[in-house]
């Protein structure tokens, strides 16, 4: 039996549907009455760990889960030693730089040097601003980063954007894009090397399914 780390939240329903199509039924995790954090598949071949999105690569990198589903944004931010196996094509969004609509800034490079930028994704933000050679002061926030420019604490934010509605509702606009993100199937490298075939069958089935969708 192997273990799959599933992210709670926006990716969970699509993740469960994907595994169901390749023979692993974790649908119990979607039941409103479920309070278990470790749930066996209906066929008994695997079990699922229900964890926060940011914790998926942690459990996989330590080998407590052999496979996992996580957003590419999390992989970019944390840079943990996991194998990025398949782009699953759901949970699509992008990482952007945004400012107040009234700010007058048209791109990230037009921001003033050493200005404050708020983000949950400070590693991604740091790499981006270093690439465009703009020194900034990064402010790490865990909650609503949109409040940074609204309150005047930060000139800009770096955050994930799906529909853009939250930005618009708070008077913010995108001025630059860092990268696109989607859900990824990841694996524990050593487990993949020692695999007796069970993991590879699932990976290949998911790859085939993704290519045909």
**Whether the predicted pLDDT of 101 surpasses 80:** yes
Average pLDDT over residues 156-163: 96
pLDDT mean across residues, the chain: 94
**Whether the predicted pLDDT of 213 surpasses 70:** no
What pLDDT shows up at residue 96? 97
- Judge contact between 38 and 45, C-beta under 8 A: no
Query: Structural domains in the chain?
Result: 2-90+182-212 (3.40.190.10), 93-180 (3.40.190.10)
**Whether the predicted pLDDT of 212 surpasses 80:** no
Sign of CA dihedral 9, 12, 14, 15: positive
Q: pLDDT confidence of 155, banded at 50, 70, 90?
A: very high
- Judge contact between 156 and 179, C-beta under 8 A: no
| pLDDT, tens only, 42-62 | 777 899 999 999 999 999 999
What pLDDT shows up at residue 36? 79
């Amino acid at each position: 039996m192997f273990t799959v780390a599933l992210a709670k939240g926006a990716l969970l329903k699509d993740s469960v549907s994907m595994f169901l199509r390749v023979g692993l039924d974790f649908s119990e995790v979607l039941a409103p009455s479920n309070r278990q954090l470790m749930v066996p598949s209906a066929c008994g071949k695997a079990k699922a760990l229900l964890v926060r999105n940011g914790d998926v690569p942690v459990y996989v990198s330590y080998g407590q889960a052999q496979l996992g589903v996580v957003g590419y944004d999390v992989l970019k931010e944390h840079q943990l030693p996991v194998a990025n196996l398949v782009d699953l094509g759901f949970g699509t969004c992008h990482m952007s730089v945004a400012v107040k609509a009234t700010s007058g800034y048209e791109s990230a490079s037009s921001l003033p040097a050493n200005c404050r930028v708020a983000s949950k994704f400070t590693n991604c933000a740091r790499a981006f601003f270093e690439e465009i050679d703009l020194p900034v002061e990064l402010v790490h926030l865990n909650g609503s980063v949109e409040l940074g420019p609204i309150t005047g604490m930060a000139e800009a934010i770096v955050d994930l954007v799906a529909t853009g509605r939250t930005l618009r509702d708070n008077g913010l606009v995108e001025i630059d894009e860092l990268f696109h993100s989607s859900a990824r199937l990841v694996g524990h490298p050593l487990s993949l090397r020692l695999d007796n075939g069970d993991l590879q069958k699932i990976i290949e089935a998911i790859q085939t399914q993704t290519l045909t969708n």
